[in-house]
Amino acid sequence: MTLINLPNILTCCNLICGCIAAGSAFHGQYQWAVLMIVCGAVFDFFDGMTARALGISSPIGKELDSLADIVTFGVAPSAILFYLFHEVHCPEALLPVKRFLPYSAFIMAGFSALRLAKFNLDERQHYGFIGLPTPANALFWGSLVLSQHAFLVSLKFNALFLFLFMLMFCFLLIAEIPMLALKFRNMSWQDNRERYVFLLGCLPILAFDPTGLYLIILWYILLSAVFPKITKG
């Protein structure tokens, strides 16, 4: 194995993690599914970092990365929602379409694919993001289901709420809303104010709920809305 193949190998590991996550989700194994999504996110981080460190860039690597991401951060969280739709309470008004509701979860996979395609072509997204990144969306749904499963399947929640909530995040994936990129080009406060504020805000969230990664994603979305010019780096 030569070093030139290392980034693509890491990308394939991301893809494999996504496949395992999706398969686990279809069997209701939420913990294993979320763990594989997290592992996929780690591989996704290191494949790009490795490619930059080695000075390697290739069209096949870019295409492979997008294919892996749509599985890990699009299909896998959709599979989690697919199984969750079978568990949540269905209001009486939706009973005629109850059997079809779980398949609506894959709307999010379609929006995730569109988000990734836009990212590949959008020259504005070198130092920030336009729309919610797919890894953040996947980690949000995975951690929400793990942390709040009892509430989600209780009578206080239902399939309609889940469907509408999912549509809101589908919109965030492709919305023309600048989102913060956690890329530190230096350590100065002036150049990284929003990033430091985000990290400092994560501390009380983790102290309140160590498993509340979904709260951190919500904090990330809120902070991005407060600082609308973050895409400039």
Domain coordinates in residue numbering, the chain: 3-232
Q: Tens digits of per-residue pLDDT, 8-32?
A: 889 999 999 999 999 999 999 999 9
Residue 27 burial (C-beta neighbours within 10 Å; 0-12, 13-18, 19+): exposed
Q: Tens digits of per-residue pLDDT, 200-227?
A: 889 998 888 877 899 999 999 988 877 6
Instruction: Give residue 203's Cα distance to chain centre.
Output: 21
Q: Any idea which fold 3-232 has?
A: Four Helix Bundle (Hemerythrin (Met), subunit A) (1.20.120)
pLDDT of residue 14: 95
Is pTM, for the whole model, over 0.85? yes
Mean pLDDT, the chain, integer: 88
**Across 146-150, average pLDDT:** 94
Of the CA atoms within 13 Å of residue 131, those in its CB half-sphere come to 24
Residue 233: pLDDT over 50: no
Residue 122: pLDDT over 80: no
Q: Tens digits of per-residue pLDDT, 178-203?
A: 888 776 666 776 767 788 888 888 99
The dihedrals phi and psi of 40, each to the nearest 5 degrees, come to -60, -40
